[in-house]
Every structure is written in structure tokens, then in C-alpha cells.
Structure 1
Amino acid sequence: MTATTGDVWLPFPAAEVDGLPDCFRYRLWDGEERFPADPGPCVFYVTPYMKSPAVTLRPLAGMPAIRVVQTLTAGIDHVLPGVDALPSGVRLCNARGVHEASTAELSLTLILASLRGIPGMVRGQDREEWHSGFYEALADKSVLIVGYGSIGAAVEDRLEPFECRRITRVARSARSAPRGPVHALAELPRLLPDADVVVLCMPLTEESRGLAGAGFLGAMKDGALLVNVARGPVVDTGALLTELRSGRLRAALDVTDPEPLPAGHPLWHAPNLLITPHVGGSSSAFEPRAKRLVARQLTRFAAGEPVENTVLITD
């Protein structure tokens, strides 16, 4: 694949991205109502970040020359509904390498805050209450990472100094990894009862949708903590509410189903639950990594080299 001319749509000014090839016309579009130009000549589309699927997909139908769609997210589920409208041979690429640091940091934050009782302390501060007591440490805990891709590996990198008793890795299929074996999803019934903390990091697929349902949650040990930094529908919300209300499990969710969580939803006031508003990737670490990825991808594209992170190629 090669291109030495055509339009490239970017969600940030081209002047702010070091290393862009100069053979393209760069158009700035971050989801505004008005397009920056006719979408027809666009050959490379970098999707806006943190915009709705409707906004993201809107220009695609008018891009007959498109060759690459580059998301700035680890998951590509929000773009998949528009794939059928694309010409044959278009490469859809995700943002592997952009969100690992930020999402792994938040995973660790959610684990530590939940175990050490930070939400209750913050509420106590608002009421001028002194919540001393005995709280749990991450040290000596068994952690199960479900979805051992680049984000799952980054989570393990940050868990390593905390003296965990065991870190167990799970992916769709079994394989070896630098830090040890990766178990298959089919082994979850055997692995879940041992885990004090379960971290969900997988993309949303038909296989992962509803994975953490009643059976999954029921297999977790009493008092275990479920952390979801994947996608909301990976967890069955009703089944989780049942476990939280019983007091048997705890949870920390950066993503929810539905999302954004509407006012009045029972998750807001569920016991034993910490919620953050899908901010795993949206930190100061995002922009420099996103810009480096875009520059690298466009340099490869202009030179006729294969782009990285290709998730699918349209028929």
C-alpha cells in the first residue's frame, strides 16, 4: 500500500505533529458539524477521539478513495458499524501503544483506592469524619488479568513492584509470555476462585460481551474485587448489581453498561463500588503517544510500507 498524494484528515493540527510526510494535504477535523473539505479525496482518516460513533462514522460514506482508517482508541467496536460502507482493501487500525501507560495507571489506581478504602475516606473528609481503621493492601494478593494484550501486560508491569502473591494471565487462547504462561479463557472457572483481584482488559467482541456474567461473578471468591477497564458490556450489569448488593463482591468500573451512566441508574449508589467516567486513556499521556503513532503510520503509508496495528481489511 502506498500513497504520495491525497487528503489526510487529522483531529489535531498537522503543525503540532512532528515527522509528518509533506506529500499529503492535511485537513483538521475533530468532529465538528462542518467538514473541513470534501471527504472524497481523503486517503487516510484519523478518527476524532472521545466522540460518538455517529460523529466518527459520518464522513466515511463520502470517502471513496479511503485506504486507511486509524482510530485513536484501543478498541474499534465504535467504528465497526461503518465498515460495510468502505471500499474493498481499506485497513482499519487501532491505537495499540497509545493507551497502555494511561490505562494501566488507572487500573492500579482503582485497585489501590478500592482496597485501601479511599472512596469512604473522601466522603468522610467532606463530612469532617476521621475514618481510621485497618485496610487491605495489594501486597500478598492474587491478581487475575483477563485480556492479556498490550494493556494487560502494561498492568502487570505496574503490579510487579507491589509484592503480589501471584499474577495470573488469561487471553483468548493459551500461549507463552515473557513473564510466564498465558491461560486460555476456557480455564477461567478454575482460575477465578483463587483471585483476590480480577482485572478486565479485553476488547469488546461477541465472545467477550457479557463474559463477566452471573457464572463468572459467582465463581469469584467472597470479598474479591472486580476491576473493569475494558468495555462496559463485558460485564453483565444486572448480575454485578446482585453481587454488590449482597456484599459478597466489590468492584471498580471505568466503563459501564449503559454508558455514559444516566442519572438515577442503580449503579451510582450500589454498595462496594467505585466508578470513574471512562478516563482510562484520556490523560496527559494520550496526546504525545497518539501524535507519534499518527506520524509513524503516515510515514509508512507514504513509503508504501505496511501500516501497523491493522485489525481488519475490508472485503
Structure 2
Amino acid sequence: MSARLRVCLPDQKLLDALEPTDGVDFVLWDLTGPAPEGRLDLLVPGYMGKPAALAALEGVDVGLVQSQSIGYDGVADVLPAGCVFANAAGVHETSTAELAVGMMIASQRGIPDFVRNQASGTWDNTQRASLADRRVLLVGYGGVGKAIEARLLPFEAEVTRMGSRTREDDRGTVYGIDSLYEQLPLHEIVVVSVPLSEQTAQLVDAKFLAAMPDDALLVNVARGPVADTDALLAETSSGRLRAALDVTDPEPLPAGHALWTTPGVLITPHVGGASSAMFPRMVRLIRKQIGLLLDGKEPVNVVLR
């Protein structure tokens, strides 16, 4: 490592938030155009950039690449050899959980219908489903799943946790994914927050959806390709299931796509982490990584080497 740490940032906003820092030289580069000369001890790509942009690092002397996202699907395919890659665990979980619970409440209590009724002056006070006392299955029990659980419990929902393998913790059993089809029929709300991988691509397929009980709600805050769009459209357009989707496949969802107008489907445009909580938390993470590197210590959140 150089005597002074060289940190490469994608935009002026991050630069303004981080300067000045003793022992650190900052440079700006958004992975377009020529790379800065010399070694970059820490590089932060832009938020929501495509993994393919990391191909620009080929031939650049980079130590740590600090992503601004939790997910890193597709990164291993393009990350040049020798680069260390860290994700943004700890930055987005709170906001994503906040949105997931908000979508559950909106879908259960009929908020989208009430918004439409307000535009037409329609007074429809028929009873709606609650979130309280509902059985909620969390498919994916990483940082986002745990943050969703922490927010659901005060709403008096009955929460079942499911991870990659069966294990016990202080709240009881975390079921393994091998018990998925035993658990799906028992839950009125299913929340998917798994990372996208070969194992989870198209996890929410026709078989998965068919195992959910009538009028159940699917919430997807994972990645669009975790769900089979055609199967999801078939179940929701028939009225048997409902869905709250922060992610879709394809994404962005085309303007004329049938999901937009399917009754019982609530769509947000991949904004789980896009709240005012993100930027200060991202700045804190970068500062932490800088401090660790200055002290000669290992960075946190490393997911690829």
C-alpha cells in the first residue's frame, strides 16, 4: 500500500462528504473514460451501476472495490483478478425492510384501492385483511430478512424464518430451504429476500406459487429474476394470489407490461434501499473502510477475492 491512501469516488457528492481525511488522497472516476494514474487503494463505483462496468478496472491497480449495493450477482464474472470486492451490508437493510413492511400494510389494508377511490370520490369502507395475526414466511434470513422480522413482530404477525439450512437461534428454529414446500401452504404472506444466484434464480416459479394458499400475498424485495414473471402473472391475473414487488424481470418493467394493471399487484421501481437513510450510512461505511486500511487491517464486508 502507498504511504498515503488513494481513494477513488464516483461523484462529487461523496467527495464532499468524505473530505478532508488525514492520510488520504481522493480522486474522482466513475469508471468511464481513462482511469486515474497510479494505484487506487479503495474504489467506490456508482450506485446501481451494472456489473459490466467493472470491466473498466482491467489493467488498473486496484486494492478494494467497495460496492454501494448489497447484492453482487454477476460481479464475479467481470471483476478483474486480484481485486477484492466488498458489498454494502449494513447500508440498505433498514430501508429495504421499511419498504417491505410498508408494502405489506398497503396490500393488506387496501391502500392502493383507497388511493384510486379518492381520485373518483368513491367511499368503499369494506373490511380488509390485517397484518396482525397473519402468518408470514420469510424466505431468506440474511440482513434484510432479519430487519423485516424485527419490524413485523411489533405488528403482532406470526413470523417463520427460512434460510439456506435448518438451525436454531434464540427465537427458535430457522427452517432450511429444503422445507419450503411444507411451509408455503401454511402462510398467508411470503416475503422473498434471497440473494440472486444459480440456486435462487426462478425460485418463485409455478410450483412455488401453486403451493401458496388462495389470496396469499407474495412480497419480492430480492431481485427480479428470483421470480418467474409469467408464472407470477398467471396467478395474480386469475385473482388467486396478490403480489407486492419492488423488483421485476425485466427491469425496468416496460410501460405496457400486464403486471402494471393486474388487480392485487403493487409495484415499486426497485427503491428498497433508495431512501434518505442510504447516503449517510454509505459515507459511514466508506469511512470505516478507510480507517481499517490506514491501520493495515482487513476491510469488512468482503464477499469476493
TM-score normalized with structure 2 length:
0.94
Find the partner of 1:80 among 76, 79, 85.
Answer: 76
What SS does the aligned partner of 2:300 have? coil
Query: Is 1:304 the counterpart of 2:300 in the alignment?
Result: no
What SS does the aligned partner of 1:80 have? coil
What SS does the aligned partner of 2:129 have? coil
Find the partner of 1:254 among 205, 226, 246.
Answer: 246
Q: CA RMSD in A?
A: 1.8
Q: Which aligned pairs between 1:1-315 and structure 2 lie closer than 5 A?
A: 4-5=3-4, 7-11=6-10, 12-17=13-18, 21-30=21-30, 33-34=32-33, 38=36, 40-54=38-52, 56-57=53-54, 59-63=56-60, 65-83=61-79, 86-88=80-82, 90-164=83-157, 166-313=158-305
Deviates more, 1:167-176 or 1:133-142: 167-176
Quick one: structure 1 residues 4 and 209, their matched pair in 2 at CA, closer, same or farther if it must change by over 3 Å? farther
Instruction: Give distance in 2, aligned partners of 1:112 and 1:39.
Output: 51
Instruction: Give distance in 1, aligned partners of 2:36 and 2:270.
Output: 33
What SS does the aligned partner of 1:81 have? coil
Instruction: Give distance in 2, aligned partners of 1:25 and 1:245.
Output: 55
Instruction: Give distance in 2, aligned partners of 1:251 and 1:3.
Output: 51
Instruction: Give distance in 1, aligned partners of 2:123 and 2:48.
Output: 38
What SS does the aligned partner of 1:102 have? helix
The aligned length equals: 303
Calculate percent identity across the aligned residue pairs. 47
What SS does the aligned partner of 2:78 have? helix
Contact kept? 2:5, 2:294, Cα under 8 Å: no
Instruction: Give distance in 1, aligned partners of 2:38 and 2:262.
Output: 49
The answer for unaligned runs of 5 or more in structure 1 is none
What SS does the aligned partner of 2:294 have? helix
Contact kept? 2:89, 2:143, Cα under 8 Å: yes
TM-score normalized with structure 1 length:
0.91
Considering Cα pairs closer than 8 Å and 6+ residues apart, tell me whether 1 or 2 has the greater RCO: 1
